[in-house]
Amino acid sequence: MILFIWGKKLNPSESTNALRFLSIDAVQKANSGHPGMPMGMAEIAVALWKGHLKHNPLNPKWFNRDRFVLSNGHGSMLLYSLLHLTGYSISIEDIKDFRTLKSKTPGHPEYDIENGVETTTGPLGQGIANAVGMAIAEKSLAAQFNTKELSPIDHYTYAFVGDGCLMEGVSHEACSFAGTHKLGKLICFYDQNGISIDGEIDNWFTDNTVQRFESYGWQTIEVDGHN
């Protein structure tokens, strides 16, 4: 998938900057919102959407598309910026209407397949649980319909999650289930910045999240999200 702005093809650095500035400008205009996550996850979003995510803006309901879930839904401007730059029906005017009643760009993503939003997120932990459900569906349908000669069901589910998501009990249950049932086509990107809405999380969240996921049976890889 190629990212464009005003008809110009963007390189990865330009794409990252476009995501960041669309996000912070929309938050500034709305005089509310959460700019931190879009700023911090922009490079990873570009790497995923430009190099790996299988989707079609001209056919958002394509059954074998990869699913993308923004579990930390307060960072919704990252998603809207991605959808705008990759050709979905989110216009620059929609971006300007961020957090406006009845707009296409509410403060937290609301389910709208036609515009590229796979599920409603906002309550932390809800999105990762939805992503686990999507991965279960893919594995179940693949077992039912795929053959040695033909694999009509073959897609991944990607989710962005934050510290707040992984504090919630529902995320513990869902992620343990995913590991137990070896949902290997579910890939999560954990934005481990040590911050939640109440400040630094050291005062109330001290578990080793990487080790916890390894105990669930997940493969874990630690990367520099800005390299």
Query: Does residue 220 carry a pLDDT above 60?
Result: yes
pLDDT number for residue 86: 93
Q: Over 60: is that where the pLDDT of 1 sits? A: no
Looking up tokens 């922009």, which residue turns up? 42
Q: What is the mean pLDDT of residues 73-84?
A: 97
- Angle among Cα 131, 136, 64 to the nearest 5 degrees reads 80
Q: What angle do CA 201, 206, 208 make, to 5 degrees?
A: 120
Residue 33 DSSP class: S
pLDDT at 54 over 80: yes
The answer to whether 45 and 81 are in contact (CB under 8 A) is no
CB 210, CB 216: distance < 8 Å? no
Query: Confidence class of residue 7 from pLDDT cuts 50, 70 and 90?
Result: low
E strands, the chain, where?
4-5, 8-9, 67-70, 157-162, 186-191, 195-196, 199-200
Closest by alpha carbon to 197, among 30, 79, 37, 29? Answer: 37
Residue with tokens 């794409």: 15
pTM higher than 0.75 = yes
Q: pLDDT digit string (tens) for 160-196?
A: 999 999 999 999 999 999 999 999 999 999 999 888 8
With contact defined as beta carbons under 8 Å apart, do 74 and 34 qualify? yes
Share of the chain above pLDDT 70, in %: 96
Residue 2 has pLDDT above 70, yes or no: no
pLDDT at 197: 78
**CB within 8 A of 23, min separation 6: which ones?**
35, 38, 39, 42, 77, 78, 81
Lowest mean pLDDT among 104-113, 150-159, 199-208: 199-208
Higher pLDDT, 158 or 200: 158
Dihedral angle computed from the Cα positions of residues 56, 131, 191 and 165, in that order, rounded to the nearest 10 degrees: 140
Tell me the mean pLDDT in the region 27-53.
95
Residue with tokens 């279960």: 136
pLDDT at 124: 94
User: What rounded mean pLDDT belongs to the chain?
Assistant: 94
- Domains of the chain in start order, with CATH, are 9-216 (3.40.50.970)
